[in-house]
């Protein structure tokens, strides 16, 4: 009899343990579902930046070589240097006779983010006639990425490729893979920023200013050595999908060896435009020493539009 009682108590304890584990799993799944749903339907509505990014990306996915009106399409692609440094409505209007202009901006991104996002767009069927990549020289040869946020806009195979290029550890790579499948996980940092911005308006701008750091100086030979393989892979990508690629180097206050990048681009078969030479624009035309203010953007846009208004090949 004692043995029977002991066995019954053990079975009851096992059932309680299983129920507890099941309750925990269900609870975690429910929290995850709520978080994912809130991110999908909430954060894009609250955050104007994320809504703009999503809309521009979806628009870019649909681009064909030519618009319905018969004009070649042009995708302006880059980061905040494009967002703040180019008067987009004006440029789009001026070039509208020759091109159907579209824009895709991911702030806080550099070359590696740009390359893999562009590769996914093209692989998914996007075929803009022209892609114009806006990047500083340091960003073009740099290795920083925006991390989990950008995993939403890359294929898993490219996430693995990026991990190998950056010698990422297993934890970092796993995090990026999870972020590819989960908007909540990918956008968790952005969600915190949005909530903080609602409570403390202006905090986002302050945080960006505080985290900005001057790019380390690089010599002309370093620019050439690091830029060359990236120019070659961009050339191969553009030839594979039949697009015309142009790189635009925005204005800078100091020497950045943009001429070296332009020379290497010519050798690789990629056009590199430098509408304003380094140091040519006054400091008063910059918002923070790196991004142009509206007055600077007007000047730069006027020079850029004449160089982009080229005949179709």
In terms of domains, do 125 and 17 share one?
no
In terms of domains, do 36 and 182 share one?
no
Q: What is the CATH number of the domain that holds 172?
A: 3.40.50.1110
Mean pLDDT of the chain: 85
Paired tokens of 262? 């332009």
Lowest average pLDDT, out of 1-5, 131-135, 177-181, goes to: 1-5
In terms of domains, do 125 and 164 share one?
yes
CB of 77 closer than 8 Å to CB of 131: yes
C-alpha span between 144 and 154 (Å, rounded): 16
| pLDDT for residue 97 | 92
pLDDT tens-digit readout, 158-193: 999 999 999 999 999 999 998 888 887 777 767 666
| pLDDT for residue 214 | 65
Tell me, yes or no, whether 313 lies in a domain. Answer: no
pLDDT over 70 at 287, yes or no: yes
Residue with the larger pLDDT of the pair 33 and 128: 128
Residues 6+ apart with CB under 8 A from 263: 224
Paired tokens of 223? 């620019």
In terms of domains, do 33 and 66 share one?
no
Number of domains in the chain: 2
Over residues 25-35, the mean pLDDT reads 51
In terms of domains, do 3 and 89 share one?
no
| pLDDT for residue 312 | 46
Confidence tier at 260 by pLDDT (50, 70, 90): very high
Where would I find the H helices in the chain? Answer: 2-38, 44-46, 48-61, 80-85, 88-94, 111-123, 137-141, 148-151, 156-165, 170-181, 183-186, 188-199, 203-211, 220-241, 258-268, 294-308
C-alpha span between 132 and 150 (Å, rounded): 20
Tell me, yes or no, whether 30 lies in a domain. Answer: yes
Paired tokens of 125? 């069927």
Q: Quote the domain boundaries for residue 17.
A: 1-45
In terms of domains, do 261 and 278 share one?
yes
| pLDDT for residue 25 | 56
| pLDDT for residue 36 | 47
Over residues 214-221, the mean pLDDT reads 82
| pLDDT for residue 50 | 84
pLDDT over 80 at 123, yes or no: yes
Residue with the larger pLDDT of the pair 155 and 194: 155
Residues 6+ apart with CB under 8 A from 306: none
pLDDT tens-digit readout, 62-90: 999 999 999 999 999 999 999 999 999 99
In terms of domains, do 67 and 5 share one?
no
In terms of domains, do 190 and 79 share one?
yes
Residues in the chain: 313
Tell me, yes or no, whether 108 lies in a domain. Answer: yes
Tell me, yes or no, whether 72 lies in a domain. Answer: yes
Tell me, yes or no, whether 144 lies in a domain. Answer: yes
DSSP state letter for 285: G
Confidence tier at 218 by pLDDT (50, 70, 90): confident
Percent of the chain with pLDDT over 70: 75
Q: CA dist 199 to 41, 46, 194, Å?
A: 20, 13, 9
Q: What is the 3-state secondary structure (H, E, C) of 136-187?
A: CHHHHHCCCCCCHHHHCCCCHHHHHHHHHHCCCCHHHHHHHHHHHHCHHHHC
Residue with the larger pLDDT of the pair 8 and 168: 168
pLDDT tens-digit readout, 100-121: 999 999 999 999 999 999 999 9
Residue with the larger pLDDT of the pair 211 and 139: 139
Residue with the larger pLDDT of the pair 41 and 173: 173
What residues does 73 pair with on adjacent strands?
100
- Picking from 134, 132, 130, 114, the residue whose alpha carbon sits closest to that of residue 244 is 130
């Amino acid at each position: 009899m004692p043995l029977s009682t002991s066995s019954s108590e053990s079975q009851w304890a096992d059932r309680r343990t299983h129920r507890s584990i099941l309750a925990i799993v269900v609870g975690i799944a429910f929290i995850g579902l709520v978080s994912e749903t809130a991110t999908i339907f909430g954060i894009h509505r609250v955050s104007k930046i994320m809504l703009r990014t999503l809309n521009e990306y979806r628009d870019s996915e649909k681009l064909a070589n030519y618009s319905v009106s018969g004009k070649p399409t042009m995708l302006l692609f880059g980061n905040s240097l494009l967002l703040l440094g180019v008067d987009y409505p004006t440029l789009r209007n001026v070039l509208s006779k020759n091109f159907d202009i579209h824009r895709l901006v991911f702030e806080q991104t550099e070359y590696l983010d740009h390359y893999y996002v562009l590769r996914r767009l093209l692989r998914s069927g996007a075929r803009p006639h022209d892609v114009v990549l806006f990047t500083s020289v340091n960003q073009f040869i740099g290795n920083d990425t925006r991390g989990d946020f950008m995993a939403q806009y890359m294929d898993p195979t490219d996430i693995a490729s990026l991990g190998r290029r950056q010698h990422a550890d297993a934890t970092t790579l796993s995090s990026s893979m999870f972020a590819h499948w989960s908007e909540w996980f990918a956008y968790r940092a952005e969600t915190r920023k949005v909530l903080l911005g609602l409570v403390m308006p202006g905090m986002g701008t302050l945080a960006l200013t505080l985290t900005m750091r001057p790019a380390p100086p690089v010599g002309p030979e370093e620019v050439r050595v690091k830029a060359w393989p990236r120019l070659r892979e961009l050339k191969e990508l553009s030839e594979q999908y039949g697009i015309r690629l142009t790189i635009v180097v925005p204005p800078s206050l100091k020497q950045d060896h943009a001429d070296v990048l332009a020379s290497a681009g010519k050798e690789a078969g990629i056009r590199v435009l430098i509408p304003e030479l380094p140091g040519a624009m006054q400091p008063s035309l910059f918002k923070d020493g790196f991004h142009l203010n509206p007055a600077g953007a007007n000047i730069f846009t006027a020079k850029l539009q004449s160089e982009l208004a080229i005949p179709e090949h």
